[in-house]
Protein backbone atom coordinates (compact mmCIF):
# COMPACT_ATOMS: atom_id res chain seq x y z
CA UNK A 1 0.00 0.00 0.00
CA UNK A 2 1.31 3.42 -0.87
CA UNK A 3 0.29 5.29 2.26
CA UNK A 4 1.32 5.52 5.84
CA UNK A 5 -0.92 7.69 7.98
CA UNK A 6 0.42 9.32 11.06
CA UNK A 7 -2.48 11.62 11.72
CA UNK A 8 -6.12 12.06 10.82
CA UNK A 9 -5.34 15.01 8.51
CA UNK A 10 -3.08 12.80 6.36
CA UNK A 11 -5.85 10.23 6.27
CA UNK A 12 -8.37 12.82 5.15
CA UNK A 13 -5.98 14.11 2.48
CA UNK A 14 -5.58 10.63 1.03
CA UNK A 15 -9.25 9.69 1.00
CA UNK A 16 -10.27 13.05 -0.36
CA UNK A 17 -13.37 12.00 -2.32
CA UNK A 18 -15.80 9.16 -2.94
CA UNK A 19 -14.02 8.05 -6.10
CA UNK A 20 -10.75 7.38 -4.25
CA UNK A 21 -12.58 5.39 -1.57
CA UNK A 22 -14.41 3.25 -4.13
CA UNK A 23 -11.23 2.57 -6.06
CA UNK A 24 -9.41 1.67 -2.85
CA UNK A 25 -12.14 -0.77 -1.87
CA UNK A 26 -12.27 -2.29 -5.36
CA UNK A 27 -8.55 -2.96 -5.13
CA UNK A 28 -8.95 -4.58 -1.75
CA UNK A 29 -11.89 -6.71 -2.75
CA UNK A 30 -11.23 -7.60 -6.36
CA UNK A 31 -7.60 -6.60 -6.98
CA UNK A 32 -8.86 -4.36 -9.77
CA UNK A 33 -11.02 -6.77 -11.82
CA UNK A 34 -14.64 -6.76 -10.60
CA UNK A 35 -16.33 -10.02 -9.64
CA UNK A 36 -20.13 -10.11 -9.58
CA UNK A 37 -21.20 -10.29 -5.90
CA UNK A 38 -24.53 -11.85 -6.89
CA UNK A 39 -23.39 -14.88 -8.91
CA UNK A 40 -19.61 -14.80 -8.48
CA UNK A 41 -18.94 -14.49 -12.21
CA UNK A 42 -15.45 -13.26 -13.11
CA UNK A 43 -16.53 -12.27 -16.62
CA UNK A 44 -15.85 -8.57 -17.17
CA UNK A 45 -19.08 -6.72 -16.28
CA UNK A 46 -20.63 -3.84 -18.22
CA UNK A 47 -19.78 -0.43 -16.90
CA UNK A 48 -22.84 1.62 -16.07
CA UNK A 49 -22.79 5.37 -16.21
CA UNK A 50 -24.41 6.67 -13.06
CA UNK A 51 -25.97 10.10 -12.94
CA UNK A 52 -26.15 13.09 -10.64
CA UNK A 53 -24.27 12.82 -7.40
CA UNK A 54 -23.41 9.19 -8.13
CA UNK A 55 -21.60 9.96 -11.39
CA UNK A 56 -18.15 9.44 -9.90
CA UNK A 57 -19.06 6.08 -8.42
CA UNK A 58 -17.93 3.07 -10.45
CA UNK A 59 -21.10 1.03 -11.13
CA UNK A 60 -21.46 -2.24 -13.04
CA UNK A 61 -23.95 -4.70 -14.41
CA UNK A 62 -23.20 -8.41 -14.53
CA UNK A 63 -22.53 -9.61 -18.07
CA UNK A 64 -23.81 -13.12 -17.35
CA UNK A 65 -27.17 -13.49 -19.08
CA UNK A 66 -28.76 -15.43 -16.25
CA UNK A 67 -27.72 -12.83 -13.66
CA UNK A 68 -27.73 -9.40 -15.33
CA UNK A 69 -27.88 -7.59 -11.97
CA UNK A 70 -26.39 -4.19 -11.18
CA UNK A 71 -23.73 -3.87 -8.50
CA UNK A 72 -21.00 -1.70 -7.01
CA UNK A 73 -18.20 -2.65 -4.66
CA UNK A 74 -20.59 -1.99 -1.77
CA UNK A 75 -22.98 -4.76 -2.76
CA UNK A 76 -23.01 -7.69 -0.32
CA UNK A 77 -20.74 -5.97 2.15
CA UNK A 78 -21.19 -4.10 5.41
CA UNK A 79 -21.57 -0.89 3.40
CA UNK A 80 -24.58 -2.15 1.45
CA UNK A 81 -27.85 -0.29 1.76
CA UNK A 82 -26.31 2.60 3.64
CA UNK A 83 -26.79 6.15 2.45
CA UNK A 84 -23.69 7.28 4.30
CA UNK A 85 -20.77 8.12 2.03
CA UNK A 86 -17.92 5.66 1.91
CA UNK A 87 -15.56 8.40 3.02
CA UNK A 88 -17.42 8.71 6.30
CA UNK A 89 -17.38 4.94 6.75
CA UNK A 90 -13.61 4.90 6.27
CA UNK A 91 -13.24 7.70 8.74
CA UNK A 92 -15.30 5.72 11.26
CA UNK A 93 -13.07 2.66 10.73
CA UNK A 94 -10.06 4.87 11.33
CA UNK A 95 -11.54 6.43 14.46
CA UNK A 96 -12.46 3.05 15.95
CA UNK A 97 -8.87 1.92 15.37
CA UNK A 98 -7.08 4.90 16.88
CA UNK A 99 -9.27 5.13 19.97
CA UNK A 100 -8.02 3.20 22.99
CA UNK A 101 -11.36 2.58 24.65
CA UNK A 102 -13.72 2.76 21.71
CA UNK A 103 -15.79 5.68 20.52
CA UNK A 104 -19.38 6.35 21.52
CA UNK A 105 -22.04 6.95 18.90
CA UNK A 106 -22.56 10.52 20.15
CA UNK A 107 -18.89 11.30 19.62
CA UNK A 108 -18.65 9.49 16.30
CA UNK A 109 -21.72 11.36 15.07
CA UNK A 110 -20.07 14.75 15.55
CA UNK A 111 -16.73 13.59 14.13
CA UNK A 112 -18.05 12.25 10.84
CA UNK A 113 -21.15 14.43 10.57
CA UNK A 114 -24.07 12.02 10.76
CA UNK A 115 -26.96 11.61 13.21
CA UNK A 116 -26.38 9.75 16.48
CA UNK A 117 -28.67 6.94 15.35
CA UNK A 118 -26.70 6.48 12.14
CA UNK A 119 -23.42 6.56 14.08
CA UNK A 120 -24.74 3.90 16.45
CA UNK A 121 -25.62 1.71 13.49
CA UNK A 122 -22.23 2.28 11.82
CA UNK A 123 -20.47 1.44 15.08
CA UNK A 124 -22.33 -1.85 15.41
CA UNK A 125 -21.75 -2.86 11.81
CA UNK A 126 -18.06 -2.15 12.22
CA UNK A 127 -17.99 -4.28 15.36
CA UNK A 128 -19.53 -7.13 13.39
CA UNK A 129 -16.76 -6.64 10.85
CA UNK A 130 -14.05 -6.80 13.50
CA UNK A 131 -15.21 -10.22 14.73
CA UNK A 132 -12.51 -12.83 14.31
CA UNK A 133 -13.35 -15.28 11.54
CA UNK A 134 -11.93 -18.83 11.45
CA UNK A 135 -10.31 -18.63 14.88
CA UNK A 136 -7.41 -21.00 15.53
CA UNK A 137 -6.89 -22.92 18.77
CA UNK A 138 -4.85 -21.08 21.39
CA UNK A 139 -1.76 -22.84 22.63
CA UNK A 140 1.26 -22.50 24.97
CA UNK A 141 0.34 -20.85 28.26
CA UNK A 142 -3.34 -19.90 28.27
CA UNK A 143 -5.09 -17.85 30.96
CA UNK A 144 -8.81 -18.34 31.55
CA UNK A 145 -10.91 -16.06 33.73
CA UNK A 146 -14.48 -14.86 34.06
CA UNK A 147 -15.99 -11.53 35.00
CA UNK A 148 -19.39 -9.89 35.27
CA UNK A 149 -20.46 -6.88 33.25
CA UNK A 150 -23.68 -4.94 33.43
CA UNK A 151 -26.09 -2.85 35.40
CA UNK A 152 -26.77 -2.96 39.11
CA UNK A 153 -30.40 -3.00 40.12
CA UNK A 154 -29.93 -0.09 42.53
CA UNK A 155 -28.90 2.19 39.64
CA UNK A 156 -32.11 1.65 37.71
CA UNK A 157 -35.13 3.92 37.77
CA UNK A 158 -37.89 3.38 40.34
CA UNK A 159 -40.34 2.29 37.66
CA UNK A 160 -38.02 -0.36 36.21
CA UNK A 161 -37.14 -1.66 39.69
CA UNK A 162 -40.82 -1.97 40.64
CA UNK A 163 -41.59 -3.85 37.41
CA UNK A 164 -38.69 -6.24 38.01
CA UNK A 165 -39.83 -6.97 41.56
CA UNK A 166 -43.31 -7.75 40.23
CA UNK A 167 -41.81 -10.19 37.74
CA UNK A 168 -39.84 -11.98 40.45
CA UNK A 169 -42.91 -12.14 42.72
CA UNK A 170 -44.87 -13.80 39.97
CA UNK A 171 -42.17 -16.41 39.50
CA UNK A 172 -41.53 -17.09 43.19
CA UNK A 173 -44.62 -16.01 45.17
CA UNK A 174 -43.32 -17.35 48.51
CA UNK A 175 -39.84 -15.92 48.46
CA UNK A 176 -38.53 -12.44 49.21
CA UNK A 177 -36.07 -11.53 46.43
CA UNK A 178 -32.46 -10.99 47.52
CA UNK A 179 -31.07 -7.47 46.90
CA UNK A 180 -28.51 -8.66 44.35
CA UNK A 181 -30.77 -11.23 42.73
CA UNK A 182 -32.09 -8.67 40.29
CA UNK A 183 -28.76 -7.38 39.02
CA UNK A 184 -28.67 -7.89 35.28
CA UNK A 185 -25.00 -8.66 35.11
CA UNK A 186 -23.82 -10.84 32.29
CA UNK A 187 -21.03 -13.34 32.92
CA UNK A 188 -18.21 -12.99 30.40
CA UNK A 189 -15.51 -15.58 29.79
CA UNK A 190 -12.03 -14.53 28.65
CA UNK A 191 -9.37 -16.86 27.21
CA UNK A 192 -5.94 -15.36 26.59
CA UNK A 193 -2.80 -16.90 25.16
CA UNK A 194 0.28 -15.44 26.85
CA UNK A 195 1.86 -13.05 24.28
CA UNK A 196 -0.91 -13.99 21.87
CA UNK A 197 -4.58 -13.53 21.12
CA UNK A 198 -7.60 -13.13 23.34
CA UNK A 199 -11.16 -14.46 22.94
CA UNK A 200 -13.98 -12.92 24.89
CA UNK A 201 -17.43 -14.54 25.07
CA UNK A 202 -20.47 -13.37 27.03
CA UNK A 203 -22.42 -16.31 28.44
CA UNK A 204 -26.16 -16.75 28.86
CA UNK A 205 -25.60 -18.02 32.40
CA UNK A 206 -22.50 -18.93 34.42
CA UNK A 207 -22.79 -22.64 33.78
CA UNK A 208 -20.05 -25.25 33.96
CA UNK A 209 -21.07 -26.80 30.63
CA UNK A 210 -20.76 -23.52 28.74
CA UNK A 211 -17.39 -22.77 30.37
CA UNK A 212 -15.91 -26.15 29.49
CA UNK A 213 -17.40 -26.08 26.00
CA UNK A 214 -15.75 -22.70 25.29
CA UNK A 215 -12.46 -23.92 26.73
CA UNK A 216 -12.47 -27.00 24.50
CA UNK A 217 -13.46 -24.97 21.45
CA UNK A 218 -10.72 -22.38 21.93
CA UNK A 219 -7.75 -24.06 23.59
CA UNK A 220 -5.52 -26.69 22.05
CA UNK A 221 -5.23 -29.92 24.12
CA UNK A 222 -1.44 -29.48 24.39
CA UNK A 223 -1.74 -26.12 26.17
CA UNK A 224 -1.09 -25.27 29.81
CA UNK A 225 -4.28 -23.74 31.21
CA UNK A 226 -4.15 -21.31 34.15
CA UNK A 227 -7.40 -20.48 35.97
CA UNK A 228 -8.61 -19.35 39.38
CA UNK A 229 -9.95 -21.86 41.89
CA UNK A 230 -13.52 -21.95 40.53
CA UNK A 231 -15.09 -25.40 40.97
CA UNK A 232 -16.26 -25.52 37.35
CA UNK A 233 -12.66 -25.62 36.09
CA UNK A 234 -11.76 -28.77 38.06
CA UNK A 235 -11.85 -31.18 35.11
CA UNK A 236 -9.63 -29.25 32.70
CA UNK A 237 -6.65 -31.51 33.46
CA UNK A 238 -8.56 -34.39 31.85
CA UNK A 239 -8.84 -32.65 28.49
CA UNK A 240 -5.66 -30.55 28.44
CA UNK A 241 -1.96 -31.18 29.00
CA UNK A 242 -1.64 -29.24 32.23
CA UNK A 243 -3.97 -27.29 34.47
CA UNK A 244 -2.69 -24.91 37.11
CA UNK A 245 -5.08 -23.05 39.36
CA UNK A 246 -4.21 -20.00 41.37
CA UNK A 247 -6.48 -19.90 44.38
CA UNK A 248 -7.54 -16.27 44.81
CA UNK A 249 -9.62 -17.15 47.86
CA UNK A 250 -6.43 -18.07 49.75
CA UNK A 251 -4.84 -14.77 48.69
CA UNK A 252 -2.73 -16.60 46.16
CA UNK A 253 -2.30 -14.57 42.95
CA UNK A 254 0.96 -15.76 41.43
CA UNK A 255 2.47 -19.26 41.41
CA UNK A 256 5.89 -18.77 39.79
CA UNK A 257 5.17 -18.14 36.11
CA UNK A 258 1.52 -19.08 36.54
CA UNK A 259 -0.98 -16.26 37.03
CA UNK A 260 -4.02 -14.68 35.38
CA UNK A 261 -2.73 -11.12 35.52
CA UNK A 262 -2.85 -10.52 31.75
CA UNK A 263 -6.50 -11.37 31.43
CA UNK A 264 -7.30 -9.34 34.52
CA UNK A 265 -5.53 -6.39 32.88
CA UNK A 266 -7.79 -6.86 29.88
CA UNK A 267 -10.91 -6.87 32.08
CA UNK A 268 -9.96 -3.52 33.51
CA UNK A 269 -9.55 -2.03 30.00
CA UNK A 270 -12.90 -3.49 28.94
CA UNK A 271 -14.74 -2.28 32.03
CA UNK A 272 -13.21 1.16 31.99
CA UNK A 273 -14.05 1.37 28.30
CA UNK A 274 -17.65 0.34 28.81
CA UNK A 275 -18.19 2.64 31.78
CA UNK A 276 -16.15 5.58 30.48
CA UNK A 277 -17.11 5.58 26.82
CA UNK A 278 -20.39 3.80 26.41
CA UNK A 279 -21.88 4.23 29.92
CA UNK A 280 -24.52 1.57 29.36
CA UNK A 281 -24.27 -1.56 27.25
CA UNK A 282 -27.36 -3.70 26.90
CA UNK A 283 -26.84 -7.46 27.31
CA UNK A 284 -28.07 -8.18 23.78
CA UNK A 285 -25.23 -6.11 22.26
CA UNK A 286 -22.52 -6.98 24.79
CA UNK A 287 -20.86 -9.58 22.54
CA UNK A 288 -20.17 -6.92 19.91
CA UNK A 289 -18.46 -4.63 22.41
CA UNK A 290 -16.42 -7.61 23.59
CA UNK A 291 -15.42 -8.34 19.99
CA UNK A 292 -14.38 -4.73 19.49
CA UNK A 293 -12.15 -4.70 22.57
CA UNK A 294 -10.71 -8.12 21.74
CA UNK A 295 -9.92 -6.90 18.24
CA UNK A 296 -8.10 -3.86 19.59
CA UNK A 297 -6.15 -6.02 22.03
CA UNK A 298 -5.22 -8.58 19.38
CA UNK A 299 -3.94 -5.92 17.01
CA UNK A 300 -2.24 -3.76 19.63
CA UNK A 301 1.22 -4.09 18.07
CA UNK A 302 0.16 -3.18 14.53
CA UNK A 303 0.89 0.25 13.07
CA UNK A 304 -2.02 2.62 12.59
CA UNK A 305 -2.08 2.02 8.85
CA UNK A 306 -1.75 -1.73 9.37
CA UNK A 307 -4.74 -1.72 11.70
CA UNK A 308 -6.81 0.27 9.25
CA UNK A 309 -6.03 -2.10 6.39
CA UNK A 310 -6.52 -5.18 8.53
CA UNK A 311 -9.96 -4.06 9.69
CA UNK A 312 -11.05 -3.13 6.17
CA UNK A 313 -10.18 -6.58 4.86
CA UNK A 314 -13.17 -8.18 6.52
CA UNK A 315 -15.90 -5.97 5.09
CA UNK A 316 -16.84 -8.67 2.61
CA UNK A 317 -20.22 -10.36 3.12
CA UNK A 318 -20.73 -9.22 6.69
CA UNK A 319 -24.18 -7.72 6.78
CA UNK A 320 -26.10 -6.57 9.75
CA UNK A 321 -29.40 -4.84 9.17
CA UNK A 322 -30.95 -2.29 11.47
CA UNK A 323 -33.76 -4.71 12.16
CA UNK A 324 -31.34 -7.44 13.20
CA UNK A 325 -29.81 -5.00 15.65
CA UNK A 326 -33.09 -3.86 17.16
CA UNK A 327 -35.43 -6.84 16.95
CA UNK A 328 -37.63 -6.06 19.93
CA UNK A 329 -37.58 -2.27 19.73
CA UNK A 330 -38.78 -1.88 16.24
CA UNK A 331 -41.93 -3.93 16.23
CA UNK A 332 -43.92 -2.29 19.09
CA UNK A 333 -43.04 1.10 17.68
CA UNK A 334 -44.34 0.15 14.27
CA UNK A 335 -47.48 -1.35 15.73
CA UNK A 336 -48.18 1.85 17.65
CA UNK A 337 -47.87 3.91 14.52
CA UNK A 338 -50.07 1.50 12.61
CA UNK A 339 -52.80 1.71 15.26
CA UNK A 340 -52.64 5.49 15.23
CA UNK A 341 -53.21 5.76 11.50
CA UNK A 342 -56.11 3.32 11.57
ZN1 LIG B 1 -23.76 -11.92 -11.75
CA of 63 to the centre of ligand 1 (A): 7
CA of 26 to the centre of ligand 1 (A): 16
Position 177 confidence tier, pLDDT thresholds 50, 70, 90: low
| Three-state secondary structure call for residue 237 | helix
Please give the pLDDT value at position 113: 93
The larger pLDDT score, comparing residue 2 to residue 141, is at 141
Position 334 confidence tier, pLDDT thresholds 50, 70, 90: very low
Give the number of other Cβ atoms within 10 Å of residue 95's Cβ.
20
Please give the pLDDT value at position 318: 62
CA of 65 to the centre of ligand 1 (A): 8
The larger pLDDT score, comparing residue 316 to residue 262, is at 262
CA of 91 to the centre of ligand 1 (A): 30
CA of 20 to the centre of ligand 1 (A): 24
Please give the pLDDT value at position 338: 46
Query: What pLDDT digit, counting tens, does each position of 211-223 carry?
Result: 899 999 999 999 9
Q: How far apart are CA 228 and CA 173, in angstroms?
A: 37
CA of 115 to the centre of ligand 1 (A): 34
Please give the pLDDT value at position 330: 47
CA of 113 to the centre of ligand 1 (A): 35
CA of 51 to the centre of ligand 1 (A): 22
pLDDT exceeds 90 at position 189: yes
Query: What pLDDT digit, counting tens, does each position of 117-175 carry?
Result: 999 999 988 888 888 777 889 999 999 999 988 766 667 778 877 777 777 777 777 76
Query: What pLDDT digit, counting tens, does each position of 258-314 carry?
Result: 888 999 999 999 988 888 877 777 778 888 889 999 998 988 888 888 888 877 777
CA of 74 to the centre of ligand 1 (A): 14
| CB under 5 Å of ion ligand 1: residues | 36, 38-39, 41, 62, 64, 67
Please give the pLDDT value at position 136: 87
Distance of CA 333 to the CA centre of its chain: 26
Q: Concatenated DSSP letters for 1-53?
A: -----SSHHHHHHHS-SHHHHHHHHHHHHHTTS---TTT---SPPEEE---GG
Residue 266 contacts residue 295 (beta carbons within 8 Å): no
Please give the pLDDT value at position 92: 92
CA of 75 to the centre of ligand 1 (A): 12
CA of 42 to the centre of ligand 1 (A): 9
pLDDT exceeds 80 at position 2: no
CA of 323 to the centre of ligand 1 (A): 27
Cβ partners under 8 Å of residue 167, min gap 6: none
Please give the pLDDT value at position 231: 83
Please give the pLDDT value at position 64: 92
Query: What pLDDT digit, counting tens, does each position of 22-75 carry?
Result: 999 898 888 878 999 999 899 999 999 878 777 888 999 999 999 999 999 988
CA of 62 to the centre of ligand 1 (A): 5
Please give the pLDDT value at position 277: 79
pLDDT exceeds 70 at position 342: no
Q: What structural domains does the chain harbor?
A: 141-152+186-301 (3.30.420.10)
pLDDT exceeds 50 at position 114: yes
Report in angstroms the alpha-carbon separations of 142 from 21, 87, 218, 221, 282: 40, 40, 10, 11, 29
Please give the pLDDT value at position 327: 64
pTM greater than 0.75: yes
CA of 136 to the centre of ligand 1 (A): 33
CA of 58 to the centre of ligand 1 (A): 16
Please give the pLDDT value at position 232: 85
CA of 88 to the centre of ligand 1 (A): 28
CA of 43 to the centre of ligand 1 (A): 9
pLDDT exceeds 80 at position 204: no
Give the number of other Cβ atoms within 10 Å of residue 4's Cβ.
11
Amino acid sequence: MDFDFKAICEFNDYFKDEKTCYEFLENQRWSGSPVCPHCGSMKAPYKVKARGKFQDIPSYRCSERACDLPFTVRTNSIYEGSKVELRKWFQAVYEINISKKGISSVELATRIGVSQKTAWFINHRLRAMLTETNPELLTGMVEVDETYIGGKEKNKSKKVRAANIEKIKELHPNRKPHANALDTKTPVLGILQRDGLIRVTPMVAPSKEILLDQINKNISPDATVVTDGLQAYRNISKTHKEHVFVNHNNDEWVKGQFHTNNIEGFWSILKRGIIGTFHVVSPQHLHRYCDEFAYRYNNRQQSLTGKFEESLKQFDSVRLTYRELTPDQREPHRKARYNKTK
